[in-house]
Amino acid sequence: MLNQVTCDALYYSDGLVKHYQTLSALPGFVLLESRDRLHGRYDIVSAYPYERVVIPRDTTDLAASLRQFQDKLQSLTTTSACALPFQGGAIGYIAYDLGAKLMGLNAPTHPILDNMPLLDMGFYDWAIVVDHVEQSVTLISANQQSETMQLVKEIRVRWDSVSLFSSAFVLHRPFAPVISQMDYHAAFASIHADLIRGRAYQVNYTQPFIADSSGDPWGMYCTVCEHNPVPYGAFMRCQDFDILSFSSERFLTYDNNKMLTSPIKGTARRSADLVVDTQLQNWLLSCPKNRAENVMIVDLLRNDLGKIARPGSVNVTSLCALQSYTAVHHLVSDIEAECKDGITAWDAFMACFPGGSITGAPKREAMRIIYEQEQMARGVYCGHIGYFSAHGRCDMNIAIRTVVARHGCLYLGVGGGIVIDSQWQDEYKECLTKIQAITGAFLV
């Protein structure tokens, strides 16, 4: 079905979170947000999905479920004169565990993550798209459903009825590790032995942390983003849990047959002392280990893109560039490619899924090692959150720095790449540095 997209202008202001607050309690509310304006450009917000596709963890025919989702995506088409990135379509998450299940790897889940779907995508025929470069806000409607026009009127009223924002959220205790430091060390040693044997070159080993809270997790999301703005943040209201993603990493953008992936490998803490902070930047840029980690994943992703790219079109346009955030410095690379004819956004996604920066290299063997050493399934963590637009574009993050909030419990996975010259104490300390990017907002 071909649908005409209509676009209406709304008011742009620096206090957009107050407008998002008016929508945040609506069913199926989702926000994809770029608080860090240096590295991100668009916010996309919607609610009231007219359909939801969910693939449960215990599905007996995963391939058939994925084909049905793919068919649903391909049935969406729009025509529009606007250049907005989302023009109706699917918004949601695809869990890392879906990729593991495709390989026959089924790890047990932590109780907080019990029965969380492998894929949870809502289909939306309206959205508010914010362009921070143009400083514009557009309410788009793809007119899929007869109720949409009335719904758009409600959204306009809500957007204009901004009230004072109150963060009714309390973090009762800091995030605590689920596994002991001794268990972490033992897993690290086993992975290191696999690296020495040549089983893999790099393995991204992660561990879960949990905390207790009360109040609306939306308040937590807003507080963390205010203190630690990121370019690929997300907040999702799901059936009986919320997802809060404070991601600094893009997994894959597909637009008009052009693909871009931007892996992060290499992390250093920030310092309030400018001299020390500069030293940390210089250390990260010159560290052979961190650069080697990044280059390994760049090579892996060049290979992933090469499966579906026009010959000669895969290019590394930026290698190990420094990007700085409130709590950490990162090394980030950009790999671009042009698709072969007939490759859809979903094809491109599946060719690269799951992201190499959160598996290691080579990908399949690294995932087997992860399964052997990580005691619990990852869930949405290390999966991907984003959208597939009806006009053929997609943009997905890597769901790092991502919290699942369920009945007052918070679940947060943290990890990093292990290579042959890694030291377990340094890797463990890096996990704590990454958590500080989230918990630091509650310690000021």
* 237-271 pLDDT, tens digit each: 998 999 999 999 999 999 989 999 999 998 888 99
CA distance 115 to 57: 6
Q: Is 362 left (phi over 0), alpha (psi -120 to 50) or beta?
A: beta
List the one residue out of 399, 426, 35, 33 whose CA is nearest residue 266: 426
Is 163 a member of any domain? no
Catalytic residue among 33, 249, 338, 374: 249
Is 39 a member of any domain? yes
- 154 included as an active-site residue: no
CATH number of the domain enclosing 400 = 3.60.120.10
Give 118 or 433, the one with higher predicted confidence: 118
- 249 included as an active-site residue: yes
pLDDT confidence band for 83 (50 / 70 / 90) = confident
Catalytic residue among 18, 72, 153, 265: 265
How confident is the model at residue 186, as a pLDDT? Answer: 98
Is 304 a member of any domain? yes
CA distance 275 to 277: 5
How confident is the model at residue 36, as a pLDDT? Answer: 87
CA distance 379 to 359: 14
Q: What are the angstrom distances between the C-alpha of 306 and each of 338, 340, 363?
A: 9, 10, 15
Residue 75 in tokens: 């049935």
Is 314 a member of any domain? yes
Is 295 a member of any domain? yes
What residues make up the domain containing 105? 2-155+173-442
Per the structure, the count of domains in the chain is 1
Look up tokens 């590790």; give the residue: 177
Is 92 a member of any domain? yes
How confident is the model at residue 387, as a pLDDT? Answer: 98
CA distance 371 to 349: 22
Give 168 or 429, the one with higher predicted confidence: 429
Asked whether residue 165 carries a pLDDT value surpassing 90, the answer given is: no
How confident is the model at residue 367, as a pLDDT? Answer: 98
How confident is the model at residue 183, as a pLDDT? Answer: 97
CA distance 181 to 428: 8
Asked whether residue 285 carries a pLDDT value surpassing 90, the answer given is: yes
SS (H, E, C) 266-333: EEEECCCCHHHHHHHHHHHHHCHHHHHHHHHHHHHHHHHHHCCECCCCCEEEEEEEEEECCCEEEEEE
What percent of the chain clears pLDDT 70, i.e. is strictly above it? 96
Mean of the per-residue pLDDT values of the chain: 92
pLDDT tens, 31-77?
A: 999 988 788 899 999 999 999 999 999 999 999 999 999 999 998 87
List the one residue out of 110, 85, 65, 89 whose CA is nearest residue 3: 89
Is 165 a member of any domain? no
Is 434 a member of any domain? yes
How confident is the model at residue 2, as a pLDDT? Answer: 45
